[in-house]
Structures are given as C-alpha cells and as structure tokens.
Amino acid sequence: MLNFQGLESCGHNWRQIFDAYIVIQEPFCRETDTLPAALSWTSCYNNRYGPRIILQRITMKITSATCVISAVGPNQYPDAGYPEIAMVGRSNVGKSSLINSLCSRRALAKTSSTPGKTQTINFFAINEQIYLVDLPGYGYAATSKGKHREWGEFITGYLRNRDKLALIIHLIDLRHEPLRNDRNASEWLMKLNIPCMVVGTKADKISRSRRPAHIAAIRRGLMLPADVPALVYSSLTGEGREELWQYVRSILSGPE
C-alpha cells in the first residue's frame, strides 16, 4: 500500500493520477535512469515519507511497426515466437484503423470502405516484441457461400490452434447493439479459454454522455461475463488507446 501523505501536499489528486500509472518505488533514481523501451514515462517525484517514486505511464512507445506477412494459410504464419494479439470483428468495424491508431501510424494496416476486402491474416510486428493480428472480418455479404465458409474455417482454425495467441480483442461498433453474428462470435470466443476483451469502436460518433449506456448495451447484448473488460475507443481521437495498451500489458506480464 502506497503512502500518499506528502504527495498530496503538492496539490494534486495523486490517487486519481496513480490509477493511470504503474508506480515503481526505488530507493534511488535519476531522470536519466532507463525504463523499458516499450513504455514511455513522465518523471520522478520525491516523497519525504518514503522512497523516490517513478510514475511510469501505461503507453506503448512504438519504436518499430511492420507488416511482416499477409498469410493465406498456417504454413505462412511467422515463427518469431512473439505473443499475438488478434483483432476480431465484423467487416468495416474498424480493425485496421484501430491497429493504425494503436501504433501511431497512418497507413500501417490498409483501410477500405469495401466490407470483406481483407481476405488474409495480417501480422504486424510491434517493437519486435509482439504481433498485432488483423483477421478477416465476419458478416460480409458480397461473397459466395463457399468462400464465406472457407474464410470462416481459416479464421476459426487460427483462433483454435495458434499457440502464441495471448489475447483476442473483439471489436463492436459502439453506435449499434450487437447483431446476431456478433453474439454468435462472442459466444464462440468465450469457449476458447483465451483471454478476451471487447472494444467499442467509433466512439467519436457518440456523445461522451451517451457512451456508458452504449457500452452497457453491448455488454448486455453479448452477455459478457463480469471479468471480461469492455472499453470504448476512437481511432480518430485516440481515446481509449492508453487503457487498451494497459490491458494488453497486463495480459502479457501475467498475474502479479
């Protein structure tokens, strides 16, 4: 338990601030001390009641982001051994835009106004530490039944069998309640015994005051268990970026 006495005398609500930061206590530190390259940080604060405290911000510092392959089959999946974070959702829900936003890149993942255009599993290496994986969208109509079934088997095969899969991020358009295929996908994902979270995309299209009601409607529509997180995200403004990276980090670091 941290002692906030003394820090609060600076005039800040430190309890609120610490909610958004990892707190690392060290007997000695300097502003030139090196923290993990994958994370950005603010600065050090003296606490006369205890050790010096570093406030380490939960934001990925993207040093490299590359699309390494657009795979059409398991034999093309990369073998670097990085943990993989998979993006699942309806076509045109904003998976590519979210990846670009997370990585602070404009055109890392190609976006399209044509639903169902992504027909490959795209692996993006981030900081040579993790893969963000863009899966083909479900729910597209402009394709044959045979191709639809083939892509479905392609996606489910990856999700069932990929041993490096660490987290599934299920994207739902925040503006609308989940559709039947969203509900079916969520029910299926929950049976995989892989950490999963829900992200409500396009939050900038909804007024701030209405967003809690919309994310609550998504939770109800998907019948999410209480321990499955759901947050709102705007690829346009970056809202939700820090919270999403924070959850990814918690999954990759394992239980404390």
Residue 59 CA from chain centroid, whole number? 12
Identify whether 97 is part of a domain: yes
| Number of structural domains the chain divides into | 2
Q: Are residues 51 and 75 in the same domain?
A: no
E-assigned strands of the chain? 21-26, 44-45, 52-57, 65-71, 84-89, 121-126, 130-134, 165-173, 196-201, 230-232
Predicted structure pTM score: 0.74
Q: What per-residue confidence (pLDDT) applies to 254? A: 76
Say yes or no to pLDDT of 115 above 80. Answer: no
Quick: pLDDT tens for 167-217. Answer: 999 999 999 999 999 999 999 999 999 999 999 999 999 999 999 999 999
Q: Are residues 107 and 83 in the same domain?
A: yes
Highest mean pLDDT: which range of 20-29, 47-56, 74-83: 74-83
Cβ-count burial 75-107 (b if 16+ within 10 Å, e if not): eebeeeebebbbbbbbbbbbbbbbbbbbbeeee
Q: Are residues 163 and 39 in the same domain?
A: no
For residue 124, the cross-strand partners are 67, 132
Q: Are residues 152 and 194 in the same domain?
A: yes
The rounded distance, in Å, linking the Cα atoms of 179 and 157 is 23
Q: Are residues 43 and 166 in the same domain?
A: no
Q: Are residues 43 and 117 in the same domain?
A: no
Q: Are residues 41 and 159 in the same domain?
A: no
Identify whether 1 is part of a domain: no
> Rounded mean pLDDT of 104-110?
82
- Name, in order, each residue with C-beta under 8 angstroms of 22's C-beta and a sequence gap of 6 or more: 56, 58
- 18 three-state secondary structure: helix
Q: Are residues 31 and 79 in the same domain?
A: no
Q: Are residues 107 and 84 in the same domain?
A: yes
- Strand 165-173 and strand 230-232: the pairing is unpaired
Domain of residue 40, residue span: 8-57
